[in-house]
Each structure stands twice: as C-alpha cells, then as structure tokens.
Amino acid sequence: DAVAFASGSAVQAWVDAIGFRTPRVVVAIGPTTASFATNLGLRISHVSADPSVPGLVRAIVHALAPPEP
C-alpha cells in the first residue's frame, strides 16, 4: 500500500479524514508538500525529484519496486 500527496491541501484532507496513520510508503510530489506533511507530523518516505504528476508516478513506482538482488 502507498499514499501519494500532490499538495499540502491533500495532506490536510488526509489528516482530517484518516488522521496520522499512513502506509509504509508515503510519497510527496516535491519538497514543499513533504515539508507541509512533516510539519503536521506525517512521515514521508519518498519525495519526487521532479515536482510534476509524471515525476510523482515515477517516485511511486520506484518506492514500490522490489529491491534489486
């Protein structure tokens, strides 16, 4: 399981609806969103290097890929 945040408002909506529980993989679209989430108390496991939807998708795929032997 994973959750991806593309904005600070998405982070806030998650906290309002779910609270501070997250799956192991939590991906932010960029450093601003990651900082917002961290300041609220969420743990971010991955941050997209490219703050765009395609960049976010690449970060999610990378985060969920099995480790290389």
Nearest in space to 38 (alpha carbons), one of 28, 48, 23: 28
Residues of the chain with pLDDT under 50: none
Provide the pLDDT for residue 68: 80
* 2-5 sheet: strands from edge to edge: 2-5, 25-28, 46-47
CA distance 20 to 26: 12
pTM exceeds 0.75, yes or no: yes
pLDDT of residue 6: 97
